[in-house]
Structures are given as structure tokens and as C-alpha cells.
Amino acid sequence: MKTLLDLPCLGPQADAPFPPPGQALSAPNGLLAWGGDLQAERLLGAYRQGVFPWYQEGQPILWWSPAPRCVIFPESVHISSRTRRRYNSGRYRISADLAFEDVIWACSEPREYDSGTWITDDMMCAYVNLHRLGYAHSVEVWEGSDLAGGIYGLAIGSVFFGESMFSRRVDASKIALIALCKQLVKWSFGLLDCQVSNPHLMSMGAIEIPREEFAGRLSKLVSNPGRQGSWTEAFQSGNSW
């Protein structure tokens, strides 16, 4: 069985190539390489190849490309009757890129089922930098002046790479995801990458696709014209679906 030291170690050059994602381990699923750093150039290059960082505090940076890949096709997001009613009720106000740092901070907070977090201080700094560069975005759900929920990730070409979401009110994270998908459809985005599946995502319409299919779709979509820069003015969630 391979150990961490048997995996490729990334050097200090931000543009150093990653190993082919097909070389990722099957156990743990998708572990591809370690080391390197979280410079914007390296992160953007990684996502364009379907690779992302995920590690705990005290570990080296670990790079992953799991198979199968969990994705949502934005036009196929599933909305339950209850969530649709809540989405259309006007209870929540939706925005984009108004509170990115608040969203990523909320996503890093411990959950009831897990006291740890993979969103380390270094990860937060790296993604806040990508936000300032116009690649990382957040969708916020507000109840009055309170931040009720949200989601954040990266947009490259016509792919949105979802990173994490949180909820402080009923269905707030679902509504953030629905609003995001609605906008991605308007902008002709072809894919929302969810990385790995969980019951919550599968209930929202996520599916798993083979590595080869994901790689083929990704290589085409990341080359499309993107939506770099603030999404605040262009984001039009509307009040109904």
C-alpha cells in the first residue's frame, strides 16, 4: 500500500504540473499528490485539471481528484415542494459577493457532527485572495440583516467549483445552492463541481459521473469565456423558481 511519501511531491514552482488525475489513489479515493503551496496560480491550475486541496491543520497540503466525481448540472438542480415554497416566500434575500469573508468563515465553523475543519487559516487567506482576483465567489442568504446561509467556490470558464456551504436557518444552504444554479443557467454554465457526494447534495440533484466523462466536460468548459470579477451587480436571483 502506498504511503504519503510514495506520492508525488509538488515543488516550489507555482506552475509546476500536477500528476495526471488518473494516477490518483483509489484508497483514499482521489489522493493525488502532496506539498506545494496555495498560491493563486497553482490553485487555478489545479482546478482547471479537476484537482483541489483538502487537508487538516498540521498536515502537508494534500491534493485530490476523486472518482467518480459528484456534480450538479445547474438546470437539473432538484427543489422539493417545501424548499420551493420557502424560496418563493420572500422570507430570504439573496445576494452575491457581498460578504465573501463572512461566508467562508461561517463554513469553517465546527458542525454538530464534526468538530474539526479543513478550512484552515491558510486556506481562508488563499480563497480570499482568489476572491479579490475575481475568481472566488459567494452567494449569501439573508434573513433581515442576519446572514442565514451561503455557499462559496471558484468560477473558471463556465464551471463553478463548489467548495462549501453553511446554514443557520431552515433551508438556507439549499436556497443558496438553488439561487446559484438559477444564475449559472442564465450564464450558460455547464457544470457545478461538488467534488464528492453526500446525502444532502444527492437530494439536491447531484449525480456521480466517471472520471473520463468529468475530464472531458471540464477541459471544454474551463476554456469558455468566464465571469471573472464581482458578481454583485450581475447576479439576479429573482424571487421565484
* pLDDT higher at 149 or 16: 149
Domain count, the chain: 2
83 with 180, same domain: the answer is yes
- Of 45, 66, 87, the last residue of a domain is 66
The answer to the question of residue 227 being in a domain is: no
212 with 95, same domain: the answer is yes
Residue 237 is predicted with a pLDDT of: 65
27 with 110, same domain: the answer is no
Residue 81 three-state SS: helix
Query: Domain holding 162: CATH number?
Result: 3.40.630.70
174 with 94, same domain: the answer is yes
87 with 106, same domain: the answer is yes
pTM of the model: 0.93
Closest by CA position to 211, among listed 31, 76, 65: 65
pLDDT tens for 55-86 read 988 899 999 999 999 999 999 999 888 888 88
Segments forming the whole domain that contains residue 28: 4-66
pLDDT tens for 85-131 read 888 888 899 999 999 999 999 999 876 555 457 899 999 999 999 99
Residue 109 is predicted with a pLDDT of: 87
The answer to the question of residue 230 being in a domain is: no
Share the mean pLDDT of the chain.
92
Instruction: Please tell me the total number of residues recorded for the chain in this structure.
Output: 241
Query: Domain holding 38: CATH number?
Result: 3.30.70.3550
pLDDT tens for 29-61 read 999 999 999 999 999 999 999 999 999 888 999
97 with 57, same domain: the answer is no
* Cα–Cα dist 48/215, whole Å: 10
76 with 153, same domain: the answer is yes
